[in-house]
Amino acid sequence: MPRREGVHGGGKRRGEREYSDLGIILRSYKLGESDKILRVLTREHGKRSAVAKGVRKTTSRFGARLEPLTMARMMLHVGRSMDTVKQVEIETSFREVREDLDLFFHASAMVEMVDGVTQEHEPHPELFDLLLRGLELLKEFPVRALFITSFFGFKVMAAAGYDLRVDSCANCGGAPGGGDASFSLHLGGLVCDSCKGGRYREVGRLITVRAPSAGLLSWMSLHGFGEWPEEPPALATQRELGMLMDRVLEHWMEREFKSRRVMREMPGGGGGRAKGG
């Protein structure tokens, strides 16, 4: 995606050494005795690495504001390899999400997805807005965390240009059929009974998807992130959908998602509180 030079809200223009932007802190690393390296997803300047100097000192004026998941207005100075944080004005801390273990792992899964599909310095405001909305939904509807995370993954793939085919056969374009369905990781969608019969090598390995989960996939393709089904999906359906999205994302990105693996190993599969409503 082409880099945008001019932005709204005090953004950096060609030749300028400092810029202001909204940023969500994806993760942080210790550097030396008092500094931190931050991975920040900014709305208009893409993913950035930045040094926050002296923030681990007890006298630091904004160290406590630079926790992962925090969304803030940041002033950064452009460096050769990494930027430098000059000013921070917190917008939303998402402390409630960060301090709840279950919600934190769901949020970490969202962060890992976005980190995996974005490139350094390439703006993608839609993904920024999706991540911000995802964190807001986790904070507001904690019992829906499992569904929120799966829905988020579905929309992240669409925003990155990889729409899942769930309303028609991903191989022939026909109706996917009723009842339990079959999902092709290779084709990125559901396949009909005829195409899954082995005549087409293109479909690859198939995953059986129960009818309620297939219906929920279709519903997600037609609704915006943050909307809810009229009938809350059963917990078993949410878990099946979450496992499917894990496999789809890992196949597409060719790597395992560590945060989702940890969630699956937690009691209740990382969705023990999810009750659908």
The CATH code belonging to domain 97-270 is: 1.20.1440.120
pLDDT greater than 70 at residue 62: no
Topology adopted by domain 18-93:
OB fold (Dihydrolipoamide Acetyltransferase, E2P) (2.40.50)
How is the chain split into domains, by residue range? 18-93, 97-270
| Residue 181 β-bridge partners | 209
234 — pLDDT class (breaks 50, 70, 90):
very high
Q: Judge contact between 38 and 8, C-beta under 8 A.
A: no
pLDDT greater than 80 at residue 258: no
Burial bucket for residue 92 (CB in 10 Å: 0-12, 13-18, 19+): middle
- 234-237: long-range contacts, CB 8 A cutoff, minimum separation 24: 234/276, 235/146, 235/271, 235/274, 235/275, 235/276, 237/210, 237/212, 237/213
261 — pLDDT class (breaks 50, 70, 90):
low
What letter would DSSP give residue 272?
T
pLDDT greater than 50 at residue 133: yes
Q: Give the mean pLDDT of the chain.
A: 85
Q: Which residue has the higher pLDDT, 89 or 202?
A: 89
Q: How far out from the chain centre does Cα 173 lie?
A: 29
pTM score, two decimals? Answer: 0.85
Say how far apart CA 79 and CA 44 lie, in whole Å: 17
Helix (H) or strand (E) holding 41: strand 35-42
Range with the lowest mean pLDDT among 43-47, 57-61, 165-169? 57-61
**Residue 36 carries which side chain, given as an amino acid letter?**
K
Range with the lowest mean pLDDT among 42-56, 134-148, 167-181, 253-267? 253-267
pLDDT greater than 50 at residue 9: no
pLDDT at position 23 is 97
